[in-house]
Amino acid sequence: MSLTYYGYPSCGTCRKAKRWIEEHGIDYNEYHIVEDPPSRDRIKELYEKSGLELRKFFNTSGKKYRELGLKDKVKTAGEDELLDILASDGMLLKRPIVTDGTKVSVGFKEEQFEELWKR
């Protein structure tokens, strides 16, 4: 199994997730979520496979999220508009996003990684 990992090198949570993946000897392809962000279609695919609400893909603690005043917008906007917003800037995406093509995790919780990614 090879994972696709979307992360941000300066993000402490991303570093923890990456360390966990490496410590468990799992192959992965790494993408810089800002320099090489997932496309709108890819975000939609990840969202659909994740089983999560689309709003869970927003980096709600990020500066960009606050600057754009997205708190209320996320509550009322439709799926298409939310996908457009997420695709507009990699800094708006909660990270890391990890997938094996079937399952998807957003953020890092060790218990979740144990359940989803440990062999």
Q: What is the pLDDT along the chain (119 residues), one digit of tens a residue?
A: 799 999 999 999 999 999 999 999 999 999 999 999 999 999 999 999 999 999 999 999 999 999 999 999 999 999 999 999 999 999 999 999 999 999 999 999 999 999 999 87
| CA distances from residue 59 to 4, 28, 74, 80, 94 in whole angstroms, order as listed | 19, 23, 11, 18, 4
CATH class of the domain comprising 2-117: alpha beta
pTM of the model: 0.94
Rounded Cα–Cα distance for residues 87 and 2 (Å): 24
Q: Count other C-beta atoms under 10 Å from residue 15's C-beta.
A: 15
